[in-house]
Structure 1
Amino acid sequence: MTAAASARQILTSLHEVMASRLHAQAKLDRVVEIVGESLTSEVCSIYLLREGSLELFATRGLNKSAVHVTRMAIGEGLTGVIADNVETLNLAEAKAHPDFQYRPETGEEKFHSFAGVPIVYRERAVGVLCVQHVEPRRYEEVEIEALQTTAMVLSELIANAELVDEEEARGLIEGKTGQQTVSGLTLVTGLAVGHAVYHQPRVQITQVVADDIEAERQRVYRAFDKMREQIDNLTGQAEFGIGGEHEEVLETYKMFAYDEGWSRRINEAIDSGLTAEAAIERVQQHTRMRMREIDDPLLADRMHDLEDLANRLVRIVSGQLGTAASQGLRRDTILIARNLGPAELLEYDRRRLKGVILEEGSLTAHVVIVARAMGVPVLGRANGIRGIIRDGDEVLLDASAATATIRPTASVAEAFEARFAKSREKQAAYAELRDVEPFTRCGTRIQVMMNAGLRDDISSLAMTGADGVGLFRTEFQFLVSATLPQRERQTRLYRDVLDAAGEKPVIFRTVDIGGDKSVPYLASDIADNDENPAMGWRALRLALTREGLMKAQARALLEASGGRSLYVMFPMVSEPWEFDAAKKVFDEQLAFLRSKKKLLPEAIHYGAMLEVPALAEVLDLLLPKLSFLSVGTNDLTQFLFAADRANPKLAERYDWLSVPILRFLRRVMQSSIGSGVDMAVCGEMGGRRLEALALLGIGFRRLSITPAAVGPIKELVRKVDLAELGDAMSGWLMDPSVNLREELSAWAAARDIDTD
C-alpha cells in the first residue's frame, strides 16, 4: 500500500471518529484501534501531556490497567525523549536505546520494535503517538508517514476536546528546557527585556483534514507558482538584499523551489486527505526526521534553507504573507529573525521593539547601523535560536555580554532587573554631561557629533548635547518608501531636520543606495548578478548615472537650506572627478534656483566620504576642493581587508584595532595636516570606547557616532591626555605587539579609563 493510500484509509476512519458524538476518551480509544489495525500493529498507544508529564491515555496491546496510571516525565524514557526533542524515533530494538525505560505495569516486555511521533500543537509537543511490535524491525517509511499524519489529526482533536490547553503546552517547553542561555556576537550593545516575536511568524494550522482534495491540490499549485516567482525575483527584495552568502542561499532556494520530489511528496500528502497547509507541514516533519539522522553540517544548513522555504510556501498558501511588523507589536518585544534589512527594521513600532536577535548578522551591516540609531540592542550569530525560543517566551537580552537568557527563573530575572536599573543609572550619569563640553585633560576640545537618518533622531541632539549631526543618512527615506520619494517630500524632511537642529550643523550625505541597500523601484539600475554588491553599482556611482535622482536631491537640499548653511557630502568617492561631477549637479541646481529668485543657502560646505582606499592615494588632489573629509570606517574596513562586512563567517575575522587599519587611518589623518580641511570619523568605530581611544591617539579630533554613544565618549574624552596617548599609539604602531587591543586596554585600565 502506498503512503497516500495508507494515510487516506486512516484519515477516512479518523474523520468519522472526530465527527461522532463520542466523548474524548472514547475517541482516543477508537483512534488507537484504527491505527493499530491499519498498520497491523500489535501495540498502538497515545500519551498526552498532563500536569507536566506524559500520561498514557489510550492503548491497544498494552495492559488496559496502565491507562491513566503510567506517566513519564519530559525527557524520560522513549516517549519523553520524543516529546523533549519534538522528533520521531524509529527503533528495531527499543531496549538498545540508552533512554529506554521499562514499565512493568504496561506488560510491554515482549515487544521489541518501537516507533513514535510527537503530537504537536502550536509548535509544542503535547503528546506522543507510538506503535510497537514483537518482531524486531525498523518501521517502513509509509508507516512513519501514516503515524505523522495521524498525529496531526490528533492535535486538532486534542485541542478541540481541551484535553491539553495552551498553558499546559507552554508548561511542556518550560519543563523541557527551563531556563536556557544562548550566546552570539554583540552587534549593538545594551540590555533589554521582552517577549519573543518572530519576524516571520509561523502559520498556525487550524484545519488538518481536507474537505475537497482537488481544491487543496489547486491551492498548492498556485502557491508553488507564486513562490517560484518570488524566488526568481529575490535579488531585488530587501529580505535577501543582505547577507554575504546571498547568491549561495538564493541558488539553494531555487533548487528546492523547483525540486519535483518535494512538490510530489506534498501532493501525495494531499492525496492522503490533508489540507494544503497540513500536507506541507507533514512533509517537513518527515524531512526533519531524516535530516537529523545525517551528521553533516552542510546538509544541516540545507535543512535550514528548506525549512525557510516551507514556511514561505505555507504563508503563501494560507494567505498570511505579512511580517510581525504588519500585525503590530502588542507588548515589549525581542524580535527574532534569520536576518533583517534596514527597511524591515524601520517598520516596527519603536516604542515596543526592545531588542533583536539574529541567527546571522555582522558588526557593520546596515541593519545594525539602523538599530544603533533606534537605540535597539542587537545580538547576532545566535545559531539555532529558532530551535530554542518559542513565540511569546520571555527573553532577557544582554547584547553587551553577547548573551540572551530564555525563559528565565524568577531569581535570574530579578538579578537582571537590578543590572538593568544600574545601567539606567549609568545612562542618567551620561545624560548629565549633556551641557558639558568634551575637553581632554590637556585642554583640547574634541568635537563629538552624532549620526542620524530619521527625523525623530534629531531630538537626540538636545538630549545628548552632541555638537551637531556629522552624518545624516538621507537614504533611510528611500529605503522605507515604496516609490522614489518626490522632491517635495525630500525638501520637507530636510527642512524639518534643519529646523529641529537649530544652530547646530547637519551634514547631509547624499543618497547611498544599491549594494546591500537595494530598493525595488531602482532595481533596473543595479546589476541582477552583481557578485560583490558592496563594491558594485551603488552610492555616488548610481546617483551620477540616475540623473533625475541626483538633481532632485540636490534641489531639495538647496531649497531646504535657504537662508542657512548647507553641509553636504558625497559617499563612496573613489577619484576626484566623481566629486567634481557631483558638485557640478549642485552648482547647476544652484544656478537654476538663483534664476528663479529662490532663497539660497548662506554658505555651502562640500565634503566627501573616504571609504574607498584608492581615494587616500589622491588626497593631495582632492583636499583643496573640500571643506571636510569624513572617514567611513564601516565600508573602508571591508575594502581594506577584502572582507564582506555582511558575511557572518567574517563578522569577527578583522579587528578595528588591528595594525593595518590604524596605520592607514593615521596616514590619512597626517596627509590632511595644513590643508585646512576638517577630518572626522563617522563610522561605528568611533562610538566604541576603546576604538575611540585609538582614534584620538592617532590624531582624530572629530567623531560622529550613534546618539547612545555620545555620553560615554564625552566621559572618555575628559580622562585622556592626548600627548601621552599619542606617544603610546605611535610606539605600538611602529613596533606592533601580538594584540594591540590588549595593550590599549591595559594602558587605559592603568589610568582608570573605563573602556567597557
Structure 2
Amino acid sequence: MSAVAAARSILTQLHELMASRISAQGKLNQVVDIIGEALNSEVCSIYLLREGMLELFATRGLEQSAVHVTKLAVGAGLTGTIAANIETLNLAEATSHPEFQYRPETGEEKFHSFAGVPIVRRERAIGVLTVQHVEPRRYEDVEIEALQTVAMVLAELLHNAGLVDVESSGGPSGAQTGQEVLRGLQLVKGLALGRAVFHQPRITIEQTVAEDTEAERQRVYLAFDKMREQIDHMTGQAEFGVGGEQEEVLQTYKMFAYDEGWSRRINEAIDSGLTAEAAIERVQQRTRMRMREIDDPLLADRMHDLEDLANRLLRIVSGQLGTAASQGLRHDSILIAKNLGPAELLEYDKRRLKGVILEEGSLTAHVVIVARAMGVPVIGRLRNARGLIREGDTLLVDGDAATLTIRPAQGVLDAFEGRLLRSRERQAGYAKLRDVEPFTRDGQRVQVMMNAGLRDDIAMLNLTGADGIGLFRTEFQFLVSAQLPSRDMQKRLYKDVLDAAGERPVIFRTVDIGGDKALPYTVTDSGNEDENPAMGWRALRLALEREGLLMGQARALLEAAAGKTLNVMFPMVSEPWEFDAAKLVFDRQLEYLRGLKRTLPEAINYGVMLEVPSIAEMLDVLVPKLKFVSIGTNDLTQFLFAADRANPKLAERYDWISPSILRFLARVVQGTKGHAIDLGVCGEMGGRRLEALALIGLGIRRLSITPASVGPIKELVRRIDTAEIGAAMQGWLASPPPNMRETLALWAADHEIDVD
C-alpha cells in the first residue's frame, strides 16, 4: 500500500469518527485501533502534553492500566526526545537508542521495533504518536508518511477537544515555555514592553480532512498561479536592479515557486484526504523537520525561503491576506516580521506600536530610518524569532543592548518595568523644560532643534519645545511612496510643515536618495548596484544627474514658502561646484516663478551638509556663498575612518569622542570664524549628552537631534559653563589623553554634569 493510500484509508475512518458524538477519550481509544489495524501494527499509542509532562492517553497493545499513569518528561525517553526535538524516530531495536527508557507498567518489554512522530500544532509539539512491533524491523517510508499525516489531523482533533493544555497547544513544548533571551543587531535604540504581534498573522487551519479532493486540488492550482504571478512581478520590479544578492534571493524564490516536486508533494497530501490548507501545512512540517537537521547555513537559508513561499501560498489559498495593521493593534505591541518596508510600518497605530523585531534587517534599511524617526526601538538579525515566539507572548525589547527577552520571568519583568518607569520619570522632568530657552550657565544661547521627515513629526515641535527643525529629510516622502511624489504632493507637505512651524525655522534638505536608499521606481542609468552604497551615486550627485527630480523639488519648495523664509540644504557636497550647480537649479526656478508673477519666498538661505571631508578643505571658497553649514556626523564618521556603519563589526568600533573626530570638528569651527555663518551639527552625535558636551566645548551652538533627545540636551545645556569646557577641550586636543571619552566623563562628574 502506498503512503497516500494508507493515509487516505485512515483519514476516511477518522473523518467519520470525528463527526460522531462519543467522548474525546472514546475517540482516542478508537483512533489507536484504526491506525494499528491500517498499518498492521501490534502497538499504537498516543501521548499528550499535560502540565508539562507527556501522558499516555490511549493505547492499543500496551497495558491499559498504564493509561493516564505513565508520564514522561519532555526530552526523557524516546517519546520525550521526539517531542523535545520535534523529530521522527524509526528504530529496528528501541533499546539501541541512547535515550531509551524502560517503563515496566506498560508491558512493552516484548516489543523491539519502535517508530514515533510528533503531533504538532502551530510549530510546537503537543503530543506524540507511536507504533511498536515484536519483530525487530524499521518501518517502511510509506508507514512513516501515513503516521505523519495522521498526526497532523490528530493535532486539530486534540486541540478542538480541549485535551491539551492551552499553554501547551499555543506555545513551545517543555523548556521552551519558559524565558528565552535572544541577542541580535542593534538597529534603533530604546526600551519597549508589549505583547507579540505577527506582521503576517498565523493562519489557523479550521478543517484538515477534505470533503471533495478535486475541489481542494483546484484551490491549490489557483493559489499556485497567483503566487507565481506575485513572484514574477517582484522579480521584474526595478527596485531589485540587476545582479546582486537581492536578485539571487528572488531567483531562488522563483525556482521554488515553479518547483514541480514541491507542488507534487502538496498534491499527494491532498490525495491522502487533506484539505488544501492542511496539505500545504503537511509539506511545510516536513520541510521544518528537514531544516532542523541541516548544518549548512546556505542550505538552511534556502529552506527558509521555501518556508516563506509556503506561508505565502497558505495565505492565498485561505484568503487571509491582510497584515496585523489592517486588523488593528488592541494593546501595547511588539511587531514581529521577517522584514518590513517603511510604508508597512507607518500603517500601524503609533500609540500602541512599542517596538519591532526583524529576523533580517540592516542598519541602512528604509524601515530603520523611519522607525528611528518614530522613536520605535528595533532589533534585527534575530533568526528564527518567529519560530520561538507565540502570538501574545510578553516581550521585552532592549534596543540599547540589542536583546529580546521572550516570556520573561516575573523578577526580570519587574526589573525591566522599573527601568521603563525611571525612563518615563526622566522624560517627564525634561517635558517641564519645553518652554524654557536653553542658556548655558555663562549666558550662551544654544539652539536645540529637532530632525523630522514625516508629517506626524511636526507635532513634536510643540511637545518638545524645540527651536525649530534643523533637518527635514525630504526623502522620507519618496521612501514611503509607491511612486514618485508629484510636485503638488511635495508642495502640500512642505507648506504644511512651514505652517505648523510658524516663526520657527525649518531647514529642508533636498532628497538624499540612491545608494543605500534606492527607490523602487528609480533605476540608475548604469543598472548596476553600488558596491559601497554610502560612497556611491546618491544624494546631490544623483539629483544633479536627474535634474528633473531636483527641478521639481526646487519648484515645490519655492511655491510652498511663498511669503516666508526658505532654508535649503544640499546633502553630500564634496566640491564647491556641486553647490553652485544645485543653487543654479533653484535660481532658474525662481526666475520662472517670478515671470509668472507668483508670490516668492521672503528670503532664501542656502546651506550644505558637511559630510564629505573634502569640503572642509574648501570652506574658505564656499563659506562666503552660504548662510549655514550643518555637520552630518553619521556619514562624516564613516568617511573619516573608512568604516561602513552598516557593518556590525565596525558600527561601534570608532568613537565620536576620539581626538581624530574632535580635532577635525575643531578645524571646521575655526574655518567658519569671522564669517556670518551659522554652524551646527545634525546627527545622533548631538543627541548624546556626553557627545553634546564635547560639541559645545568646541564652539558648536546649534544641535539638530531626534525629538526624544531635545529635553535631555536642553537640560544638559543649562548645566554647562562654556568657558570651562572650552578651555578643557583646547588642552585635551593639544595633548590628547589615552582615553578621551573616559577623561571627558570624569570631568563632567567633577562639574556635577550628568552625562549618562
TM-score of the superposed pair, with normalisation by structure 2:
0.89
The answer (yes or no) to whether the contact 1:119–1:125 under 8 Å persists in 2 is yes
Specify the alignment match of 2:678 in structure 1: 678
Change (3 A) 1:644 1:147: farther
Which amino acid in 1 is paired with 2:448?
A: V
**2-structure distance, mates of 1:415, 1:232:** 49
Which residue in the other structure is 1:563 paired with?
563
Number of residue pairs aligned between Structure 1 and Structure 2: 754
Task: Give the letter for the 2:486 counterpart.
Answer: Q
- Residue in structure 1 matched with residue 117 of structure 2 by the alignment: 117
Q: Equivalents in 2 of 1:51, 1:535: separation in Å? A: 57
1:605 pairs with 2:636: no
The alpha-carbon distance between structure 1 residues 171 and 482, as it changes in their structure 2 partners (threshold 3 A), is closer
**Residue 421 of structure 2 corresponds to residue 452 of structure 1:** no
- Identify if the C-alpha distance between structure 1 residues 511 and 60 changes in structure 2 by more than 3 Å, giving closer, same or farther: same
Match of residue 318 from structure 2: 318
> SS at 2:400's partner residue?
helix
C-alpha spacing 1:236/1:551, structure 2 compared with 1 (3 Å): farther
Q: Is the partner of 1:456 in helix, strand or coil?
A: helix
**Structure 1 residues 534-683: aligned runs within 5 Å:** 534-640=534-640, 645-646=645-646, 651-652=651-652, 654-657=654-657, 661-662=661-662, 664-683=664-683
Alignment partner of 2:109: what SS?
coil
Give the deviation of 1:251 after TM superposition.
5.0
Residues of 1 paired with 2:540 and 2:470: CA distance?
19
Bigger shift: residues 567-576 or 409-418 = 409-418
1: CA distance between counterparts of 2:284 and 2:471?
47
Q: 1:489 to 1:572 in 2, by over 3 A?
A: same
- The one-letter code sitting in structure 2 at the alignment partner of 1:416 is F
Q: Which residue of 2 aligns with 1:30?
A: 30
* Corresponding letter in the other structure for 1:625: K
Give the SS at the match of 1:304: helix
Q: Which deviations, in whole Å up to 9, do the C-alpha atoms of 1:434-485 show, x marking residues without a partner?
A: 2333334454432221001122222222222212101112222333333433
Q: Distance in 2 between matches of 1:9 and 1:272?
A: 8
Mapped partners of 1:215, 1:738: distance in 2: 75
1:712 is matched with 712
Which blocks of at least 5 consecutive residues in structure 1 are unaligned?
A: none
Aligned-residue identity in percent: 76
Counterpart CA distance in 1 for 2:504 and 2:84 is: 59
State the Cα distance separating 1:349 from its structure 2 match.
0.8
Paired amino acid for 2:201: P
Contact kept, 8 Å, 2:447 with 2:467, in 1: the verdict is yes
Kept in 2, the 8 Å contact 1:470–1:682? The answer is yes
1:46-61 matches, cutoff 5 A? 46-61=46-61
2:335, 2:357 within 8 Å by CA — same for their partners in 1?
Answer: yes
Q: Which amino acid aligns with 1:585?
A: V
Query: What is the Cα deviation at residue 426 of structure 1?
Result: 0.8
Match for residue 276 of structure 2? 276
Maintained 8 Å contact 2:239/2:518:
no
Conservation of the 8 A alpha-carbon contact between 1:361 and 1:648:
no
How many Å separate the matches in 1 of 2:144 and 2:420? 49
Q: Deviations over 1:184-216 (max 9, x none)?
A: 344333332211011222322223233444444
Contact 2:477 2:485 in 1 (8 A): yes
Equivalent-residue separation in structure 2 for 1:644 and 1:263 (angstroms): 43
- Give, in angstroms, the shift of residue 390 of structure 1: 1.0
Q: What amino acid is the match of 1:303?
A: M
- Counterpart residue type for residue 496 of structure 2: D
CA distance change for structure 1 residues 414 and 273 in 2, over 3 Å: closer, same or farther? same
Q: Alignment partner of 1:109: what SS?
A: helix
Q: Once the 2 structures are TM-superposed, how far is the Cα of residue 106 of structure 1 from its aligned partner? A: 1.4
Cα deviation, residue 505, structure 1: 0.4
- 1:175-186 mapped onto 2 (5 Å cutoff): 176-186=176-186
TM norm structure 1? 0.89
Instruction: Give the corresponding residue for 1:288.
Output: 288
Cα distance 1:383–1:652, how it changes in 2: closer, same or farther (>3 A)?
farther
Residue 356 (1) aligns with residue 351 (2) = no
- Secondary structure of the 2:512 match is coil
Query: 1:335: which partner in 2?
Result: 335
- Aligned residue number for residue 386 of structure 1: 386
CA distance in 2, matches of 1:240, 1:333: 31
Q: Partner letter of residue 316 of structure 1?
A: I
User: Could you tell me how far apart the structure 2 residues matched to 1:39 and 1:731 are?
Assistant: 86
Residues of 1 paired with 2:248 and 2:641: CA distance? 22
What SS does structure 1 have at the residue aligned with 2:201?
Answer: coil
Q: In 2, distance between residues paired with 1:524 and 1:252?
A: 24
Amino acid in the other structure paired with 1:704: S
Give the 3 Å change call, closer, same or farther, for CA 175–456 of structure 1 in structure 2.
Answer: same
CA distance in 2, matches of 1:545, 1:636: 23
RMSD between aligned residues: 3.5
Is contact 2:514-2:537 (8 Å) kept?
A: yes
2:107 corresponds to 1:107? yes
User: In structure 2, what is the Cα distance between the partners aligned to 1:156 and 1:352?
Assistant: 33
| Contact 1:355 1:397 (C-alpha < 8 Å) held by counterparts | yes
Q: Deviations for 1:352-408, whole angstroms, at most 9, x for unmatched residues?
A: 101122334445544333223222222334344223211111123333343333223
Cα distance in 2 for partners of 1:145, 1:524 equals 51
Q: Is the 8 A contact 2:334 2:353 kept in 1?
A: yes
* 1:464 is aligned to 2:464: yes
- C-alpha displacement of 1:714: 2.2
Equivalent residues of 1:686, 1:704 under 8 A apart: yes
2-structure distance, mates of 1:736, 1:143: 75
> What is the rounded CA distance, in whole Å, between the counterparts of 2:335 and 2:677 in structure 1?
43
Aligned-residue offset at 1:660 = 5.4
Structure 1 residue 722: deviation in Å?
4.7
The residue identity in structure 1 corresponding to 2:288 is: R
* Alignment of structure 1 residues 516-531 onto 2, 5 Å: 516-522=516-522, 527=527, 529=529, 531=531
* 2:506 alignment counterpart: 506
Cα drift, residue 592 of structure 1: 2.4
Residue aligning to 1:307: 307
Give CA-to-partner distance per residue, 1:550-600, whole Å, 9 cap, x none.
333222222221221111112333433333333222222222222232221
- Give distance in 2, aligned partners of 1:600 and 1:733: 46
Counterparts in 2 of 1:421 and 1:551: CA distance versus 1, 3 Å: same
The answer to whether the 8 Å contact 2:185/2:648 transfers is no
Would you say the 8 A contact 1:239–1:340 is kept in 2? no
Cα distance 1:103–1:653, how it changes in 2: closer, same or farther (>3 A)? Answer: farther
CA spacing shift, 1:658–1:342, aligned 2, 3 Å: farther
Label 1:530 to 1:372 Cα distance change in 2 as closer, same or farther (>3 A).
closer
Q: Distance in 1 between matches of 2:363 and 2:656?
A: 11
Unaligned runs of 5+ in 2: none
The aligned amino acid for 1:550 is L
Q: What is the deviation of 1:47?
A: 1.7
CA deviation profile, 1:320-365 (whole Å, cap 9, x unmatched): 3332222221221111123333222212110110112233444554
CA contact 2:52–2:174 (8 Å) conserved in 1:
no
Query: Which 10-residue stretch deviates more, 323-332 or 477-486?
Result: 477-486
- 4+ runs of 1 displaced by more than 6 Å? 235-241, 730-738
Is the Cα contact below 8 Å between 1:507 and 1:568 reproduced in 2?
Answer: yes
CA offsets 1:683-729 (integer angstroms, 9 cap, x no match): 22322233334444554332211000111122233344556555666
In structure 1, how many angstroms separate the alpha carbons of the residues matched to 2:238 and 2:715?
Answer: 38
Q: Which residue of 1 aligns with 2:702?
A: 702
**Cα 1:633–1:11 shift into 2, 3 Å:** farther
**In 1: Cα distance, 2:235 partner to 2:717 partner:** 44
* 1:377-526 mapped onto 2 (5 Å cutoff): 377-522=377-522
Mark the CA change 1:529 to 1:30 in structure 2 (over 3 Å): closer, same or farther: farther
Alpha carbons 1:74, 1:176 under 8 Å: kept: no
Q: After TM superposition, give the deviation of residue 732 of structure 1 in Å.
A: 6.3
